[in-house]
Structure 1
Amino acid sequence: MRSELRRAADRLVGGVRWYVRELMDESAYDRHVAHVRRDHPETEVPSRRDFERMRTDRQEADPRQGFRCC
Structure 2
Amino acid sequence: MMNKVVGAVRAAWWWTGSLMGDHDYSRYVEHLRRNHPDAEVPTEREYWKARYADADANPGARCC
Pairwise TM-score range, normalised by the shorter structure = 0.7 to 0.9
Per the normalisation by structure 1, the TM-score is 0.73
| Counterparts of residues 46-57 of structure 1 (less than 5 Å) | 46-57=42-53
| Dislocated runs of 4+, deviation >6 Å | none
Q: Which residue does 2:24 correspond to in 1? A: 28
Structure of greater relative contact order (alpha carbons < 8 Å, 6+ residues apart): 2
Q: Which residue does 1:15 correspond to in 2? A: 11
Mean alpha-carbon deviation: is it higher for 50-59 or for 23-32? 23-32
- Segments of structure 2 that go 5 or more residues without pairing to the other structure are none
Residue identity over aligned pairs, in percent, reads 30
- Segments of structure 1 that go 5 or more residues without pairing to the other structure are none
Quote how far apart the aligned CAs of 1:29 are.
Answer: 0.7
Quote how far apart the aligned CAs of 1:10 are.
Answer: 3.2
Q: Which residue does 2:40 correspond to in 1? A: 44
Quote how far apart the aligned CAs of 1:61 are.
Answer: 1.0
Higher Rg: 1
What is the Cα-based RMSD across aligned positions, in Å?
A: 2.1
Per the normalisation by structure 2, the TM-score is 0.79
Aligned residues: 64
